[in-house]
Amino acid sequence: MARYRVGLETRERILAATRRLLSEVGIEGVTLKAITDQAKVGAGSFYNLFDSKDDAVFEVVREAVEAVDPDPAGAGTDSLEDLVDAFVAFMTGSSPIARIYLQLAGRGLTDTGIAVRVLRSHRRRVERFTDAWQREDPTLSEREAQQRAETMLAALTGLGMTTLMDPGFDMRTHAMRLLPDSALVRGA
């Protein structure tokens, strides 16, 4: 889309504005007008660079979600605890993008296009957790490790929802109970 330098810069300004709005007023507050006002750009410029409003929103959320990974390089050195810790930090941290992420997932329940994107990032995460499980306990079968990873992530997601709705909820304690040391997600 953007081919000239100015275009690329405008694109960045738009993404920054979207990011800021998502954080400050939530997903409902992100209207096209809000974005273009914040970015000091006309609607025409916006559509010269993005196909739709959601395009910009997805881009911002995708970046934020990827940043959750404590080991983006995927070097395979992060422990289960690291992963859980990073997830908890994401949910309880100051960035309100966590809310947005779960809300998008909620929308994915009826919008197939969104579901595909959410599932894709979910699967990536399951892989990371599966690897960590096997590193923790090399005797685990691939299948078993994957089931534990899936269950663990599900629990983390559910705990995340509760903590986002109920600020008094102690997510970290509950989440730590999921670690193998606590014998919580160990299989049959």
Partner DNA sequence: TACATATTGGAGCGTCCACTCCAGTTTTGC
Partner DNA sequence: GCAAAACTGGAGTGGACGCTCCAATATGTA
Query: Which positions lie near a copy of itself, rule CB under 8 A?
Result: 26-28, 99, 102-103, 105-110, 115, 118-119, 122, 147, 150-151, 153-159, 161-162, 164-166, 173-174, 177-178, 181-188
Residue (65 or 178) nearer to a copy of itself, CB: 178
Q: Give the whole-angstrom CA distance, residue 85 versus residue 81.
A: 6
Retrieve residue 110's tokens.
């009826």
Question: In whole angstroms, how close is the CB of 133 to a copy of itself at the nearest point?
Answer: 14
Angle (CA) 72-167-163 rounded to 5° is 50
Stretch that binds DNA, among 34-42, 77-85, 97-105, 116-124 (CB under 7 A): 34-42
Among 12, 21, 22, 53, binds DNA (CB under 7 A): 53
Q: Which does 113 bind (CB under 5 to 8 A by kind): a copy of itself, DNA, none?
A: none
- Asked whether position 123 contacts DNA by CB under 7 A, the answer is no
**Under 8 Å between Cβ of 113 and 104:** no
Burial class of residue 66, CB neighbours in 10 A (0-12, 13-18, 19+):
exposed
- Smallest gap, in angstroms, from Cβ of residue 10 to a copy of itself? 28
Specify the residue, 48 or 151, whose C-beta has the smaller distance to a copy of itself. Answer: 151
Range in contact with DNA (rule: CB under 7 A) among 28-36, 78-86, 106-114, 136-144: 28-36
Residues near 70 by beta carbon (within 8 Å), at least 6 away in sequence: 78, 82, 83, 85, 86
Q: Where are the alpha helices (DSSP H) in the chain?
A: 5-29, 32-39, 43-49, 53-66, 80-92, 97-108, 112-136, 142-165, 171-176
Residue with smaller CB distance to DNA, 4 or 75: 4
Q: Applying CB under 7 A, does 12 fall inside the site for DNA?
A: no
Number of residues that bind DNA (CB under 7 A): 27
151-to-122, 126, 156 alpha-carbon distances in Å = 12, 9, 9
**Residues near DNA (CB under 7 A):** 1-10, 30-33, 40-49, 52-54
